[in-house]
Structure 1
Amino acid sequence: MSEDLGYGWQGDLIDLPAYLKRAGYDGDLTPTGDTLRALHRAHTTSIPFENLEIMLGRPVVLSLDAVQAKLVGRSRGGYCYEHNRLFAAVLERLGYEVTALAGRVTLGARKLLPATHALLHVRPPGQPRDEPAWLCDVGFGAGPLEPLRLLDGEEADQDGWGFRLQKGRTATAWTPSTVGWELHQRGEDGWVQRHTFTMNEQFRIDFEVGNYFVWSNPHSPFSTRPFTQRFSVDSHRVLDGTKLTTIRPGGSTETRTFTPEQLPETLAEEFGIVLEGDDVTRLIDFERNRADSGN
């Protein structure tokens, strides 16, 4: 066996039948644009977004074995690094050309945030270089349902959910000519910039660095409270602490609030996330303590 130098995504180690069953996908596996769209949709609508390992007092581990065991072998989900670690291995196994990228979330942010969102730049094998590649974003928790073509200004309507990619400028005083991309999502009040990214290639070790910040740093937005999402054709469900918000493609929303004791049942019914053993009481205790402290 050749030495693993950390450049690829270890597609040869993926349990492909188990992944396809978890994603509910039984279609064609020929590495084409159509297959990529179908796999992206299946993954996005089947495997939820969640950060619960942090609340349960455990680090988020990105080895392929750990990611497969959690997202494929159990009724659990993960956040962007876990999702795209898994999806990259699947696509590589099928023969796609996969390049990881880093995004900088801007949605609702008033200050510069670190580039800690994982994205994938994907080409089917043999695709001419003058044709646009695809941006895969299975780990944001809010779509898109299908990958987006890297075409400046092209809008995509996916079952009522709107997305747009356009070239932007991530200029600073130090890099005044750095040209990047922006992903926009259509909301009730029009287009909102969701994140920016450049075409600088990322590797597995870069995922490890970004992931460590996300789960361990007290300033990370995911290290302070439970945050789960599930995206589908007809709804986007978000559980932030004990508040559940359901958003429809047209922009309408409904909100419900639960007690900490209701969290495990809510996670199972609304997100398909099933906690096991002591994790049930650990999560309830965490949220009780957070509520008592006023955070």
Structure 2
Amino acid sequence: MSDAIELDAYLQRIGYHDALSPDLSTLRALAVAHAAAIPFENLDPLCGVPVQLQPAALERKLLHEGRGGYCFEQNLLFAAALRAIGFSVRGLIARVLWNQPEDAVTAQTHMLLRVEADGESWLTDVGFGSMNLAGALRLEPGVAQATALEPFRLLEQGGEWRMQACVRGDWLTLYRFDLRPREFIDYVVANHYVSTYPSSNFVLHLIAARTTRDRRLTLRDREFTVRRPGMEPERRTLRDGAETCRVLEQEFGLRLPDRDVLMRRLDALPAA
């Protein structure tokens, strides 16, 4: 299946106007622009709407309808844009360990990308929500690598890799993975699980995130948080579905879907 997309529409959506070349500087700049412009959000699973991963569906939702999405949508779209520019891109899959014990056995439910640029391999990931990479990491273990926000690093043992971020002085693992390229069907199966399984966080909770050059915005149910490097997080609890919609529109830049259905679901969310 071809993953070709409307590159001009993508560049307009993320506000990218510089020259394009399949090199590291372009890769990093695109990742930063993408993370700031296209928020992480799970409104479709929350409202019982199927999540489609075909290129036409991604274009319609993320480029033309003013929506965001979660890892499969975000990284499939990003991969298609990178390939259109001339990058060599392979999709990987990971087991999420964020807020989990290091030895937890979790399902393979997260997508990330391996990209070749400037004669080296890089990892990029515009779909990890509250800890979005918004950049690219050299595929090199044990080295802290700076980003505009937190430093990240990769660890490797026996062919298994871990992605970590330094959060307030502690190295925390986001997920573990290997370097075997995955097929589109692997993401289709994982997407179906996380978007329909009754106990999935994406079915039970509202989750939204947006990463800019100087802050991270997150929303889980009605708790809205702004995090800036070196500063205490700013948190506030939203009153109801109406205020939640305003935050989704104003802070995350989302054009909301069916408001009646969404309002009923938001009003049913826990207050904290």
TM-score (norm 1): 0.86
2:254 corresponds in structure 1 to 273
* Residues 192-232 of structure 1: per-residue CA shift (max 9 Å, x gap): 11111101111111110110011011222211011000011
Please list every run of at least 4 consecutive aligned residues from structure 1 whose deviation after the TM superposition is greater than 6 angstroms. Answer: none
Distance 2:148 2:22 in 1: 24
1:116 corresponds in structure 2 to 109
Distance 2:169 2:25 in 1: 32
Matched, 1:282 2:261: yes
Which range moved further: 204-213 or 256-265?
256-265
2:84 corresponds in structure 1 to 93
* Residues 116-136 of structure 1: per-residue CA shift (max 9 Å, x gap): 110010113xx54xxx30101
* Residues 220-277 of structure 1: per-residue CA shift (max 9 Å, x gap): 221101100001111111100011011111252011111222111110111001214x
SS at match of 1:108: coil
Letter in 2 for 1:233: R
Residue of 227, 242, 254 corresponding to 1:261? 242
How far off its partner does 1:86 sit? 0.5
Distance 1:10 1:260 in 2: 36
Distance 2:140 2:169 in 1: 24
Matched, 1:145 2:134: yes
Distance 1:112 1:245 in 2: 29
Residue of 149, 155, 167 corresponding to 2:156? 167
SS at match of 1:133: strand
Kindly indicate whether the alpha-carbon contact (under 8 Å) linking 1:54 and 1:215 is maintained by their aligned counterparts in 2: yes
Distance 1:159 1:36 in 2: 14
SS at match of 1:256: strand
* Residues 59-107 of structure 1: per-residue CA shift (max 9 Å, x gap): 1110101111111112210000000110111111111111100011101
Residue of 26, 48, 54 corresponding to 2:45? 54
SS at match of 1:222: helix
Q: Which runs of 5+ in 2 are unaligned?
A: none
* Residues 134-172 of structure 1: per-residue CA shift (max 9 Å, x gap): 10101112222211110111212222421111213xxxx
Distance 2:253 2:261 in 1: 19
Kindly indicate whether the alpha-carbon contact (under 8 Å) linking 2:48 and 2:203 is maintained by their aligned counterparts in 1: no
Letter in 2 for 1:162: P
Aligned residues: 268
Q: Which runs of 5+ in 1 are unaligned?
A: 169-177
- What are the equivalent positions in structure 2 for 1:140-289 lying under 5 Å apart? 140-141=128-129, 142-168=131-157, 178-258=158-238, 259-276=240-257, 279-289=258-268
How far off its partner does 1:190 sit? 1.4
Larger radius of gyration: 1
Kindly indicate whether the alpha-carbon contact (under 8 Å) linking 2:124 and 2:134 is maintained by their aligned counterparts in 1: no
Identical residues among aligned pairs (%): 35
Letter in 2 for 1:112: V
SS at match of 1:263: helix
Letter in 2 for 1:133: S
1:133 corresponds in structure 2 to 121
- Aligned-residue Cα RMSD (Å) equals 1.7
TM-score (norm 2): 0.93
